[in-house]
Amino acid sequence: MAAVSTPALDTTDWGLIEALQENARLTFAELGRRVSLSPPAVAERIRRLEETGIVRGYHAELDLAALGVPMQAMIRITTSNSTECATHGNRLADVPEVLEAQRVTGTDSFIARVAVRSMEHLEDLLLRIAPHNGDTITAMVLSTPVPTRVVSRQLVYGDGPAH
Contact 93, 101 (CB under 8 A): yes
Same CATH topology for 11-60 and 71-140: the answer is no
Q: Name the residue ranges covered by the structural domains of the chain.
A: 11-60, 71-140
76 to 28, 101, 134: CA distances (angstroms) = 42, 10, 11
Best CA proximity match to 138, nearest among 75, 77, 95, 78: 75
In CATH terms, the fold of domain 71-140 is: Alpha-Beta Plaits (3.30.70)
Per-residue pLDDT of the chain (163 residues; tens, 9 = 90+): 455 566 789 999 999 999 999 999 999 999 999 999 999 999 999 999 999 999 999 999 999 999 999 999 999 999 988 888 889 999 999 999 999 999 999 999 999 999 999 999 999 999 999 998 899 999 999 999 998 889 998 888 886 555 4
Q: Which CATH class is domain 11-60?
A: mainly alpha
